[in-house]
Amino acid sequence: MYDYLIVGAGLFGAVFAHEMSKKGKTCLVIDKRSHIGGNVYTENVEGINVHQYGAHIFHTSNKKIWDYVNSFVEFNRYTNSPVARYKDELYNLPFNMNTFNKLWGVVTPCEAKKKIDEQIKEAGIDNPTNLEEQALSLIGKDIYEKLVKGYTEKQWGKRATELPAFIIKRLPVRMTYDNNYFNDSYQGIPIGGYTKMIEKMLDGITVELGKDYLDNKEEYNSIADKIVYTGMIDEYYDYCYGELEYRSLRFETEVMDIDNYQGNAVVNYTEYEVPYTRIIEHKHFEYGIGEKTVITREYPASWKRGDEPYYPMNDEKNNALYAKYKALADKDDKVVFGGRLGMYKYYDMHNVIEAALETVESLSENN
């Protein structure tokens, strides 16, 4: 018998298993994939740590979480400064003075603000009813059409006029010449890749890969006092109330016989006609200097059963459906749900770690 069976060897599962093992609890971690790490898994290709499930840049303002991850592996000083490509024009993200200078030739924050205010006034939208109107009322026509519209439509698989306004509550506009995407106090990439960090977390813990919990649910339930489940909550309950919606992704990764393809780790493609949303050049996350490079094109995709779910669609309809599953989970003393899929919520990595630590603390207090 184990104290905990942890379903999923991703970030939530690894942190939970590590902390509970430190408290003397016995843990078995299983994962249906052939590797640990979940979506933060990195694989070494040509000496480059490739982010197999999309770019993962760690950032947080929580010093406790930053110190925690650095206790497993050292992080480098990587700063996320993506570039947006619209046709053959390149713009800095988030929208800042470099962006505005390229768009309009303005030099000072006053000039940039005046231009944005003019375009918001021209749009004349007081009560936005969809995402397009919301964006136009926040940043005006030029930024919206070149840098928001196409990218957003590709990401969500719908035209901006069909998307609800609440998806964009605000758009980051910075009146400084600063290309740092995040405002957090700490950010970086684990030196040697995220897999190295997860390996350290799971050191000394029994891990079984290629094992699908749902295929042998009764057997697995019989060998542990509690189940920590980080998969889809609706799938766990056999979709009894219906399917929650997700967006998925598809990746095309290519090794290239050149040392530098695009000069930046992340380049967003904001034209609707370009089918992928961004190209990741992995070596730039760790300042690689080898003779080859590895790039990944990222294609948004609709989700159906059997596909990998990436982004919960947290609109009113889906949140109401999740609440029904959550009510089931609250009555279940055997299982604890965690992570992005188990809690049906978009989480950054630091949020996942914080949630896992809080779950450990809560369970420890109650036992």
Active site residues: 170, 174, 247, 278, 298, 346, 348
Strand 311-312 relative to strand 48-51, pairing: unpaired
In DSSP terms, which residues pair with 136 in a beta bridge? none
Tokens (6 digits) for 241? 């109330």
Q: Tell me which amino acid residue 290 is.
A: G
Burial class of residue 257 in the structure, from the number of CB atoms within 10 Å of its CB (0-12 exposed, 13-18 middle, 19+ buried): exposed
SS3 126: coil
Question: Given phi > 0 = left and psi -120 to 50 = alpha, else beta, which region is 8?
Answer: left
- Answer whether 80's CB lies under 8 Å from 278's CB: no
| Strand ranges for 78-151 from DSSP E | 83-86, 89-92
Degrees, nearest 5: CA angle 328-334-339 = 70
Tokens (6 digits) for 319? 């949140």
Distance from the first to the final alpha carbon of the chain: 17
Longest pairwise C-alpha distance within the chain: 68
Is the peptide bond prior to 190 cis by the omega test (within 30 degrees of 0)? Answer: no
Residues 6+ apart with CB under 8 A from 219: none
Residues 6+ apart with CB under 8 A from 138: 120, 168, 170, 171
SS3 content of the chain, % helix, strand, coil (to 5): 40, 20, 40
Residues 6+ apart with CB under 8 A from 79: 180, 187
